[in-house]
Amino acid sequence: STCNVVTKKLIKMTKINGISQVFISCFRYDIKALIGCGSFSRVVRAEHRRTRQPFAIKLLEVKGREGHEACQAELGVLRRVNHSNVIRLAEVFETQHRIYLVLELATGGELLERVVARGTFRERDATKALMMVSSGLHYLHTLGVIHRDLKPENLLYYHPGQDSRLIITDFGLAKDWAVRTLCGTPEYLAPEMLAQRPCSSAVDMWALGVITYILLSGSLPFDQSSRPRLFRVILRGSYSFHGDPWKSVSTLAKSFIDCLLTLEPECRMTAEETLKHPWLVSMAACSSNKNLHRSISRNLQRRASRASSRCPSSGSTPGSRISMRSGSRLGVSDRSQCLKITA
């Protein structure tokens, strides 16, 4: 079976470093399936042998000093957090070359997948999701943690039910205050990150503004065919509420976005302030009751088609996976291309 093949591959991989016994006996988990791969990590779905409780195990590659520091940074954040809207760490296993993070398993799908799967989606539904994200961010920022890669793909529902909590995941780029490193997903980068200024928790709030814009329209506020053009419009803060379905979106909702997509980080809403914003507090009770589902789904589909035509070698088909990004996540090596860009 597929699961057995995955298990054999993982065991073979660990045997290369002579740690198969650690993987099999100490973990106390049965590997069920490979559910995600990254440049330096793999995520598998597993089940605790005694309790049969499902978990996700993230295998982090520790290669060199930088790789070790990155793994320890993510682990350091996960060990500190305990909030219903932030992914929870169950336990950790470390070897010379790998770190195994046993995390709670979120099975409810990504935020945008849930939006598309619904037959209806109104502002009230958006405020419910954003209230949970804002609550998780407020908690993280209180601890002095900046996520730095907040986007819909990193917001997962814990279970498929309507009452599921929404969880912030993937702390691979998380850091403490006043960092300068350029990293993250291009479409969600705050202006101060592109300008190479010291960054605070305000970068997460800018990303929340981008997410809110997407959630209500299915479109990106900053959407260009190349990174230089994209970065220029971000640095200018050039976005609008034109097109469908913005005529059906309330003034309060637009105000919420405007207060987040503010160029100066010190003028941007904090996570605590978002929780007090009239749009979230009222749960859109006084806002538009228009069903935005058709417009959102159509706009998401259009962008998926454009992204697929730009990158035909990716092997994905339009709509196969909902993603609001045109390129890969940025790292430190991408810094030079941003320094040349001016508003």
pLDDT classification of 10: cutoffs 50, 70, 90: low
Other Cβ atoms closer than 10 A to 51: 9
**Residues 33 and 115 occupy one common structural domain:** no
**Residues 143 and 282 occupy one common structural domain:** yes
**Residues 251 and 133 occupy one common structural domain:** yes
Q: Which pLDDT value is given to residue 339?
A: 37
**Residues 270 and 329 occupy one common structural domain:** yes
47-106: per-residue pLDDT in tens?
A: 999 999 999 999 888 777 666 777 888 888 999 999 999 999 999 988 878 889 999 999
Nearest to 155 by CA among 108, 214, 91: 108
> Sign (positive/negative) of CA torsion 159, 162, 163, 169?
positive
- Tell me the backbone φ, ψ of residue 102, rounded to 5 degrees: -95, 110
For position 299, which CATH number holds? 1.10.510.10
Three-state DSSP state, 160: coil
285-334: per-residue pLDDT in tens?
A: 766 788 999 999 999 988 887 766 665 444 333 333 455 655 555 553 34
**Residues 163 and 269 occupy one common structural domain:** yes
**Residues 122 and 166 occupy one common structural domain:** yes
The Cα 175–Cα 24 span in angstroms is 32
Q: Which of 84, 104, 124 is the endpoint of a domain?
A: 104
The Cα 88–Cα 103 span in angstroms is 6
Q: Which of 75, 104, 133 is the endpoint of a domain?
A: 104
> Sign (positive/negative) of CA torsion 232, 319, 172, 16?
negative
Q: Which pLDDT value is given to residue 169?
A: 94
Q: Which of 149, 163, 170, 258 is catalytic?
A: 149
58 is in an annotated binding site: yes
pLDDT classification of 110: cutoffs 50, 70, 90: very high
**Residues 221 and 90 occupy one common structural domain:** no
Average pLDDT score over the chain: 82
Q: Which pLDDT value is given to residue 180?
A: 54
Q: Which of 83, 104, 125 is the endpoint of a domain?
A: 104
**Residues 134 and 96 occupy one common structural domain:** no
Q: Which tokens sit at 6?
A: 């995955």
Is residue 343's pLDDT more than 60?
A: no
Which residue range is the domain that position 319 belongs to? 111-339
Q: How many structural domains does the chain have? A: 2
**Residues 143 and 239 occupy one common structural domain:** yes
**Residues 52 and 118 occupy one common structural domain:** no
Cβ atoms of 15 and 7 within 8 Å: the answer is: no
**Do β-strands 166-168 and 155-157 pair in parallel, antiparallel, or remain unpaired?**
antiparallel
The Cα 240–Cα 128 span in angstroms is 24
**Residues 230 and 294 occupy one common structural domain:** yes
| 149 noted as active-site residue | yes
Nearest to 276 by CA among 176, 139, 135: 135
- Tell me the backbone φ, ψ of residue 215, rounded to 5 degrees: -60, -35
**Residues 215 and 68 occupy one common structural domain:** no
